Structure 1
């Protein structure tokens, strides 16, 4: 009789079993929790409650309950949290795929629900699988700058994360006790990948015979690699036994070996991604990361960028000394400043990195320009400078306008930068002037600044 995916005999891999699935589940439990927390921190760093121009999820409601004022210290805070978020997310892909492979028989199991608890578990599993694939896929497409999903990445990824985490928590509550019991009571597997000559494996008989018939005459023995995957004689069947094939193929690798293969894949992805958070030789190892490899150009401006002047419609004519003016507005009125007039104001320097939502970052660059709080002082805010709305000359792309909090404006290292590493800004780094703020996401460090409005946002 032909087998269907709903039949346990359809799935014949000897690797599937509660121990293998539980190990992967515990790794994902820890890893995805870190991903979720760092993702929420990234969302908070965008200051979505500050201004509508920063809020890409205006209908979030109670989902924004935790939002707080993003700090400016330490300066590497966003570089750390978002670097961990992206690198860990990429590194967990092999673990996620192995986990989905290990539980795929449950997706086809019949009947669909044997009880209310089982129905909740099946529903959480479907949402978990769909949510995981959606979140990891959209995340990878975004960091590779090849995003193809309709709609805003921020909106889809944010709401998708909450749906996924709701399913994840539900599934964890239902399954973590079982997973921990499996890890505690199931013996660790013995290697099957180094069999004696002429044999696939040489397992010793288990002291506990399997209640299921083996492929040959007589009771089937259970290898140490599978010990504990099935109940002993007289024991009731367990839900996790659905993962164990009643007619497995001969093993060609142990579960320990399979876990090593999955772990090796994760290590390889981390090793070819993490370098995008560093400069120098390590950046050359970021083969799978956005902007990996050699730095764009050389000299004082030879560090990473995310958007070029040409891609945002910036022309040399409008940024020339003759044409460009910075318009600064506040309760004390409006001033217009040329680049030469800005250079006559007190200039300050700060060593700050740039960190982007895609996970890449630079080391500290040496910026020089006018402090934001000094610009606020020009328009009536000599003390207690407020937040500021910054507008760019750019014509295309998100965050043409961005808002900064008062704590960001007041930080003495927050600058309207005119120079970087001892030279004028290059066109791609925001010439004639750009904002640079400690610990802020890269898109809030507005380039090609045209107008700054201090006060009510």
Structure 2
């Protein structure tokens, strides 16, 4: 029941929105936080896309129609070895932390969505259209991002193209909106007193909290989301605080193989008969032909160790694990490549977006890039890629292929 029977019934009426919290300064504070935060999100998102080497091979490229949107792509480096762990951890953790700020900002300006007439001129109509793209694009990006973190793929199509193209639409609208509104927001923050505007109700209700208190509430909600998410990226004891993340809480087991995974061998359809010592052979192809190596033969080649993390697009990562195996560049030399070329990797896994993946020559050449046979002093478990897996410094988890069946060295 409405408290005041004389109150307007339609959201387009001037007195319908009565919260005393709405005002130019309240909106300006939230807008400036989003200006910085969304810019960082867009930048780290582009880095995450580049890290998958989409320009190297069609098997890595989940957005083949991107055209000029891939103008910035570059060879992803291998130093520092924690690079992807940092950039993607920031991307996901910041995105979740900004959710209360985004919702509060949308709430603060909702009266403007119902102003009449909807378009006073062509310029005003274009501004309203950009606002529609801004609001719709922002909600789309945050919702698909959260669903991806939660491994809940209820949306149609693949996450990669949806989130990539959605990001460009949203950020284009965001830049246009920021160019129009940032000067006004800065003026509103510099004013000593709040001035009336279209966000201030002509008949405000009695306040139950101050605007400063509301900002503290939004900040507290963001801090709570940060505290219950960041542990999945930092790992260690803090992982137990990541209550809202699928890869939070305790590690999935104990011992050398007791660290996080995204996909089990069973889920990937790996038949243990295929990975047994009698059945499995690694096929390595290069300039001088093809060789087939058993696991015992691989173990007889020079072995090297590297301390590297696993870091995935969902924002979770592991601390450095000690991997041991054969250098990829040594396997390249085995088939006639003294200068390591690009590498095409195929897994025993029969389904999945990255069951085949490509690595750049700079990644193959790094002495820490291994075909790993052991982790933390023990043979790989089936869930961690037994009999052999790829491990490359600074590479996304999807390029650290498990259950490797074939390596093809050469120009892709």
TM range (shorter): over 0.9
Q: Give the superposition deviation at 1:270.
A: 0.3
In the alignment, which residue of structure 2 is the partner of 1:224?
A: none
Residue number among 330, 339, 345 corresponding to 2:295 in the alignment: 339
Give the match's secondary structure for 1:303: coil
Q: Which runs of 5+ in 1 are unaligned?
A: 188-226, 231-240
In the alignment, which residue of structure 2 is the partner of 1:320?
A: 276
Give the match's secondary structure for 1:402: strand
TM-score by length of 1: 0.88
2:404 equivalent to 1:398: no
Q: Say whether the 8 Å CA contact 1:24–1:98 is kept in structure 2.
A: yes
In the alignment, which residue of structure 1 is the partner of 2:200?
A: 244
Distance 2:362 2:293 in 1: 24
Q: Say whether the 8 Å CA contact 2:23–2:194 is kept in structure 1.
A: no
Give the match's secondary structure for 1:384: coil
Residue number among 34, 44, 50 corresponding to 1:38 in the alignment: 44
Q: Say whether the 8 Å CA contact 1:19–1:182 is kept in structure 2.
A: yes
In the alignment, which residue of structure 2 is the partner of 1:148?
A: 154
Q: Say whether the 8 Å CA contact 1:125–1:167 is kept in structure 2.
A: yes
Q: Say whether the 8 Å CA contact 2:99–2:222 is kept in structure 1.
A: yes
Residue number among 347, 367, 376 corresponding to 1:412 in the alignment: 367
1:88-134 CA deviation, whole Å, 9 max, x = no partner? 00000000000000011111111112234322321111111000000
Distance 1:126 1:111 in 2: 16
Alignment of 1:353-392 (within 5 A): 353-381=309-337, 383-392=338-347
Distance 1:319 1:115 in 2: 68
1:231-261 CA deviation, whole Å, 9 max, x = no partner? xxxxxxxxxx111111110111000000000
Give the match's secondary structure for 2:272: coil
2:265 equivalent to 1:265: no
2:242 equivalent to 1:276: no
Distance 1:163 1:278 in 2: 31
Q: Say whether the 8 Å CA contact 1:3–1:9 is kept in structure 2.
A: no
Distance 1:275 1:66 in 2: 31
Give the match's secondary structure for 1:435: strand
Superposition RMSD in Å: 0.9
Give the match's secondary structure for 1:9: coil
Q: Say whether the 8 Å CA contact 1:121–1:174 is kept in structure 2.
A: no
1:304-363 CA deviation, whole Å, 9 max, x = no partner? 101100000001110000000000001110000000000111010000001000000011
2:397 equivalent to 1:442: yes
In the alignment, which residue of structure 2 is the partner of 1:431?
A: 386
Distance 1:115 1:164 in 2: 23
Distance 1:126 1:87 in 2: 26
In the alignment, which residue of structure 2 is the partner of 1:300?
A: 256
Q: Give the superposition deviation at 1:278.
A: 2.2
Q: Say whether the 8 Å CA contact 1:311–1:396 is kept in structure 2.
A: no
Q: Say whether the 8 Å CA contact 1:301–1:421 is kept in structure 2.
A: yes
Residue number among 303, 307, 315 corresponding to 1:351 in the alignment: 307
How many residue pairs match? The answer is 406
* Structure with greater Cα Rg: 1
Distance 2:392 2:15 in 1: 60
Give the match's secondary structure for 2:168: helix
TM-score by length of 2: 0.97
Distance 2:103 2:385 in 1: 41
Distance 1:109 1:406 in 2: 57
Q: Give the superposition deviation at 1:159.
A: 0.2
Give the match's secondary structure for 2:273: coil
1:158-199 CA deviation, whole Å, 9 max, x = no partner? 0000000010011111111111110111x3xxxxxxxxxxxx
Give the match's secondary structure for 1:8: coil
Q: Say whether the 8 Å CA contact 2:233–2:318 is kept in structure 1.
A: yes
2:17 equivalent to 1:23: no
In the alignment, which residue of structure 2 is the partner of 1:3?
A: 9
Q: Say whether the 8 Å CA contact 1:51–1:403 is kept in structure 2.
A: yes
Alignment of 1:181-260 (within 5 A): 181-185=187-191, 187=192, 227-230=193-196, 241-260=197-216
Distance 1:242 1:3 in 2: 18
Q: Which runs of 5+ in 2 are unaligned?
A: 1-5
Give the match's secondary structure for 1:397: coil
Q: Say whether the 8 Å CA contact 2:327–2:368 is kept in structure 1.
A: yes
Give the match's secondary structure for 1:351: strand
Q: Say whether the 8 Å CA contact 1:72–1:411 is kept in structure 2.
A: yes
